Amino acid sequence: MTQEEILKKVTDVIVAKLEVKAEDVKPESEFGNDLGADSLDRVELVMALEDEFEVEILDSDAEKFLKVSDVVAFLEAKKNG
């Protein structure tokens, strides 16, 4: 998967789970400050990403997801690495 494809898919998941608009989801968007995600939202998001990308995301990895780009970089390494 290209980085662009991953970003598109991650954005779709974020839009569905956090009820935000696609145009508000940018690589530099922070989950807490910009996208309004609380701790339960983050867990739900990680579970949805696991389903969508068919990967396992450890809590220790998920803790490092601050911005959308962190997730994209993680998934890029996981899928292509």
User: Is 52 near another protein (CB under 8 A)?
Assistant: no
The count of other CB atoms within 10 Å of the CB of residue 61 is: 15
59 is catalytic: no
Residue from 44, 61, 70, 76 touching another protein (CB under 8 A): that is: 44
Catalytic residue among 12, 24, 34, 38: 38
CA distance 75 to 1: 10
Q: Give, as ranges, the residues between 8 and 27 that touch another protein (CB under 8 A).
A: none
Q: Does 40 engage in binding with another protein (CB under 8 A)?
A: yes
8: which residues sit within 8 A by CB, 6+ positions away? none
φ and ψ at 64, to 5 degrees?
Answer: -90, -5
Interface residues toward another protein, by CB under 8 A: 38, 40, 44, 47
Tell me which residues are annotated as active site.
38
